[in-house]
């Protein structure tokens, strides 16, 4: 098998959505599927320097590095003192600054395909639309924290708020943000909707109300198209 190689930098694929939308489940399914898909094409295990994808990594925000894990703990623990909205915003920005510079950028420079559970759009949706903080301020903070790193693709797993909260609740105890009222989560969903409308090429909506396997299939269909575009894979040809 031989593939024509066009691109060497890694890619950042982000999973976004409201509470209980299934991001974590789908990110795991996607990683397994990607490893198989790339392996079937002779990538990964051969690890030849000319191949555009050296590895697949998964990560999340908040909490993508050991230091970020501590920030995540502070952000999501319910029984500390009431957290001010600006404190919350700055903690997410601090987590992101550490994650981007210390983890995402080095891996992207090594041609890694990264699957990330949440990124900047969550801050717009939760702190902007949900908490009502100034969207320009959030945009500035996102730019500072990311140094301009924009996802190559964002998969927005969209689901009715009540259904997502019920799923999250069925799974166990709720964290500090899951405990916010339904109106807050409705505004968050509206935020994702407007982001999707503003950036239709980058942010693709996936119907997350479907059964798990159907959601996985929808994601795989999108990724097959994107991977083929990004890496200009003409077809798998015989040696």
**Which residues in this chain contact ligand T5A in the complex, by CB under 6 A?**
17, 19-25, 61-62, 92, 117-118, 122-123, 126-127, 167-168, 171, 177-178, 211-212, 215
Q: How far is the CB of 129 from ligand T5A (least distance, A)?
A: 10
Residues 6+ positions from 82 with CB-CB distance below 8 Å = none
Select 69 or 228, whichever has its Cβ closest to ligand T5A: 69
10 Å CB burial of residue 237 (0-12, 13-18, 19+) is exposed
Q: Which residues are paired to 206 by β-bridges?
A: 157
Helical axes 161-171 vs 182-198, angle rounded to 10° = 120
Residues 6+ positions from 199 with CB-CB distance below 8 Å = 154
Select 30 or 230, whichever has its Cβ closest to ligand T5A: 30
CA-CA-CA-CA torsion sign (232, 10, 2, 218) = negative
Q: How far is the CB of 96 from ligand T5A (least distance, A)?
A: 7
Select 61 or 158, whichever has its Cβ closest to ligand T5A: 61
Q: How far is the CB of 38 from ligand T5A (least distance, A)?
A: 23
Select 216 or 230, whichever has its Cβ closest to ligand T5A: 216
Residues 6+ positions from 227 with CB-CB distance below 8 Å = 37, 233
Q: How far is the CB of 15 from ligand T5A (least distance, A)?
A: 8
Q: How far is the CB of 159 from ligand T5A (least distance, A)?
A: 8
Select 211 or 239, whichever has its Cβ closest to ligand T5A: 211
10 Å CB burial of residue 165 (0-12, 13-18, 19+) is buried
């Amino acid at each position: 098998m031989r593939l024509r190689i066009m691109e060497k930098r890694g890619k950042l694929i982000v999973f976004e959505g409201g509470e209980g939308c299934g991001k974590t489940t789908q990110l795991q399914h996607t990683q397994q599927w990607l490893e198989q898909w790339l392996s079937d094409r002779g990538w990964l295990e051969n690890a030849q320097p000319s191949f555009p994808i050296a590895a697949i990594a998964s990560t999340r925000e908040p909490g993508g590095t050991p230091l970020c894990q501590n920030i995540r703990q502070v952000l999501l623990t319910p029984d500390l003192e009431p957290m001010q909205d600006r404190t919350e915003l700055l903690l997410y920005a601090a987590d992101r600054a550490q994650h981007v510079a210390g983890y995402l950028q080095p891996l992207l420079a090594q041609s890694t395909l990264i699957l990330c559970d949440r990124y900047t759009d969550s801050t717009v949706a939760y702190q902007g639309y949900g908490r009502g903080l100034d969207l320009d301020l959030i945009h500035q903070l996102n730019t500072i924290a990311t140094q301009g790193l924009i996802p190559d693709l964002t998969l927005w797993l969209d689901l009715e708020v009540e259904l997502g909260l019920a799923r999250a609740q069925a799974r166990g105890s709720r964290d500090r943000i899951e405990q916010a009222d339904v109106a807050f989560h409705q505004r968050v969903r509206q935020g994702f909707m407007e982001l999707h409308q503003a950036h239709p090429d980058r942010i693709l909506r996936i119907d997350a109300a479907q059964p798990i396997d159907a959601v996985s299939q929808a994601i795989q269909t999108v990724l097959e198209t994107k991977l083929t575009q990004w890496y200009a894979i003409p077809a798998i040809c015989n040696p």
